[in-house]
């Protein structure tokens, strides 16, 4: 028993250390081999005339919808239309959108009378789109003027490119929770996408900003309305059909992140549940040798789930052992050399992340202090979110005729 608990505890430390090493090496290779050379490319040098249909699915986004639409209209890429799909909003989202649509011919609104979820809104937007490139952007995001051209150029030079995910940055950075997420978007999300792109398969595109080839989306049957996370599922559907998924680091948009612990908790539950739902739905990747590049991604996500349960169990044992004798085991290794090694690896990971992102955002160094909070905060939140989400995914996976509707969290105005 003692030996089992000891090995169990070792796993809690070794797994994040190994993944951190993989993320750092993969992201640095991506940066020097692909990202750095691309920084010297002028995206406007070659004339690209592919039309873009920008789909903005919205549900109760009256505070931000106008800012989002206006930011798209300021794009330097000129051949595009904007389709706002209002998914039965109960606030003034439709009225706010209509104010702008009446002034611009390339802005159109589709209003749904019943809340059917983001996936259904995207399907309707794709059916109504007149151009081959579909750019999906959240209704609370601000698009950078050059983002569209950076995304579109991949489709011109890559005939098997099915989707290109952009590079979202945190827009609201006022309180501690928001600033911790600012660190996360650089130190975790950005590094993981770079590393996964090198390893072969991107686990998910960013739901905040991503461009799709419309013919590829129709080829895989559009978005599934029963999946709680549309972005993860459509990524796997495209990659299983051998479409290329790319990560464009220069396609920026600024997104609103949850500003309360309650909203952040619900978001992470949804993310974790969506990940497990996709694994359950696409478990047939193991039956086709052509999908072997999925296997490391699949194993890594399952292992991360096991780590979450191991972390919670270890934490529970440590706490309880202070009051009752559970086993004759010393947990000094938690504060020993493995703890020091894990701390060092975390610092290296943050240094790598800030080094890469500094070329895009010079003021990122101001958030170095929040790295300390993030290391503990992220682990606890992620572990407990997975702990709750996995059973929910198992239960929801067995449901039939389910429609994954959305309920937008309470928002606040941007104070950046």
pLDDT at 6 over 70: no
CB 191 within 8 A of CB 29: no
Instruction: Give the model's pLDDT for residue 401.
Output: 55
Binning pLDDT at 50, 70 and 90, where does residue 315 land? Answer: confident
Instruction: Give the model's pLDDT for residue 137.
Output: 94
3 state SS of 323: coil
CA distance 127 to 11: 48
Instruction: Give the model's pLDDT for residue 295.
Output: 86
1 DSSP assignment: -
CA distance 229 to 247: 19
Instruction: Give the model's pLDDT for residue 179.
Output: 84
Instruction: Give the model's pLDDT for residue 111.
Output: 92
Find the angle CA(186)-CA(191)-CA(193) to the nearest 5 degrees: 115
**175-216 confidence digits (pLDDT tens):** 888 888 888 887 678 888 888 888 877 888 888 899 999 999
CB 140 within 8 A of CB 411: yes
Instruction: Give the model's pLDDT for residue 149.
Output: 92
For residue 389, the Cα-to-chain-centroid distance in whole angstroms is 17
Range with the poorest average pLDDT among 165-174, 250-259, 399-408:
399-408
User: Which domains are assigned to the chain?
Assistant: 2-20+292-397 (no CATH), 40-267 (3.90.550.10)
Specify the DSSP element, H or E, that contains 395: helix 370-397
Instruction: Give the model's pLDDT for residue 414.
Output: 52
Instruction: Give the model's pLDDT for residue 411.
Output: 52
- What is the crossing angle of helices 295-321 and 2-30, to 10°? 140
Specify the DSSP element, H or E, that contains 81: strand 80-87
Binning pLDDT at 50, 70 and 90, where does residue 84 land? Answer: very high
CA distance 65 to 9: 47
Backbone angles phi, psi at 140, to 5 degrees: -120, 15
- The dihedral through the CA atoms of 390, 395, 400, 402 has a sign that is negative
Instruction: Give the model's pLDDT for residue 147.
Output: 92
**106-134 confidence digits (pLDDT tens):** 999 999 988 888 889 999 999 999 999 99
The widest CA-to-CA distance across the chain, in whole angstroms, is 74
Structure token pair of residue 21: 């090493």
CB 229 within 8 A of CB 397: no
- Residues near 351 by Cβ (< 8 Å), separated by ≥ 6? none
Instruction: Give the model's pLDDT for residue 329.
Output: 52
Instruction: Give the model's pLDDT for residue 216.
Output: 94
CA distance 49 to 63: 33
- Residues near 298 by Cβ (< 8 Å), separated by ≥ 6? 279, 285, 286
pLDDT at 393 over 90: no
Instruction: Give the model's pLDDT for residue 148.
Output: 93
- pLDDT above 90: percentage of residues in the chain: 26
Range with the poorest average pLDDT among 37-51, 124-138, 250-264:
37-51
When pLDDT is averaged across residues 218-231 and rounded to a whole number, the result is 88
When pLDDT is averaged across residues 136-156 and rounded to a whole number, the result is 92
pLDDT at 219 over 90: yes
CB 122 within 8 A of CB 217: no
Instruction: Give the model's pLDDT for residue 408.
Output: 55
For residue 37, the Cα-to-chain-centroid distance in whole angstroms is 25
HEC sequence for 160-209: CEEEEEEEEEECCCCCHHHHHHHHHHHHHHHHHHHHHHHHCCCCCCCCCE
When pLDDT is averaged across residues 76-80 and rounded to a whole number, the result is 91
Q: Are strands 161-170 and 209-213 parallel, antiparallel or unpaired?
A: antiparallel
Instruction: Give the model's pLDDT for residue 415.
Output: 46
């Amino acid at each position: 028993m003692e030996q089992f608990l000891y090995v169990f505890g070792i796993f809690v430390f070794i797994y994040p250390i190994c993944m951190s090493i993989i993320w750092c090496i993969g992201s640095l290779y991506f940066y020097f081999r692909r990202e750095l050379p691309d920084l010297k490319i002028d995206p406007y040098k070659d004339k690209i005339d592919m039309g873009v249909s920008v789909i903005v699915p919205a549900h109760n986004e009256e505070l931000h919808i106008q800012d989002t639409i206006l930011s798209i209209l300021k794009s330097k890429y000129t051949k595009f239309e904007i389709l706002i799909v209002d998914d039965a909003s109960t606030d003034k989202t439709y009225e706010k959108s209509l104010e702008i649509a009446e002034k611009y011919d390339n802005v159109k609104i589709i209003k749904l009378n019943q809340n059917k979820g983001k996936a259904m809104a995207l399907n309707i937007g794709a059916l109504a789109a007149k151009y081959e490139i579909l750019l999906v952007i959240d209704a609370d995001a601000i698009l950078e003027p050059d983002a569209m051209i950076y995304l579109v150029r991949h489709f011109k030079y890559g005939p098997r490119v099915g989707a290109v995910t952009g590079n979202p940055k945190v827009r609201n950075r006022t309180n501690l929770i928001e600033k911790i997420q600012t660190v996360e978007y650089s130190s975790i999300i950005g590094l993981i996408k770079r590393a996964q792109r090198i390893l072969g398969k991107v686990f998910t595109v960013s739901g905040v900003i991503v461009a799709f080839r419309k013919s590829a989306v129709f080829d895989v049957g559009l978005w599934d309305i029963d999946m709680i996370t549309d972005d993860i599922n459509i990524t796997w559907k495209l990659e299983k059909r051998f479409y290329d998924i790319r990560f464009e680091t220069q396609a920026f948009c600024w997104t609103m992140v949850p500003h309360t612990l309650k909203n952040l908790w619900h978001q992470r539950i949804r993310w974790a549940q969506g990940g497990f739902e996709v694994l359950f739905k696409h478990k047939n990747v193991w039956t086709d040798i052509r999908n072997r590049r999925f296997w490391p991604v699949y194993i890594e996500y399952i292992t991360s789930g096991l780590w979450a349960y191991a972390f919670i169990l270890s934490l529970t044992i440590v706490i309880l052992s202070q009051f009752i004798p559970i086993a004759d085991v010393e947990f000094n290794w938690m504060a020993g050399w493995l703890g020091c090694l894990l701390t060092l690896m975390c610092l290296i990971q943050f240094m790598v992340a800030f080094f890469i992102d500094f070329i895009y955002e010079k003021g990122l160094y101001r958030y170095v202090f929040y790295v300390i909070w993030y290391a503990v905060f992220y682990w606890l939140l992620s572990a407990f979110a997975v702990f709750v989400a996995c059973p929910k995914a198992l239960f929801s996976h067995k449901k039939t005729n389910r429609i994954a509707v959305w309920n937008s969290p309470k928002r606040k105005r941007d104070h950046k």
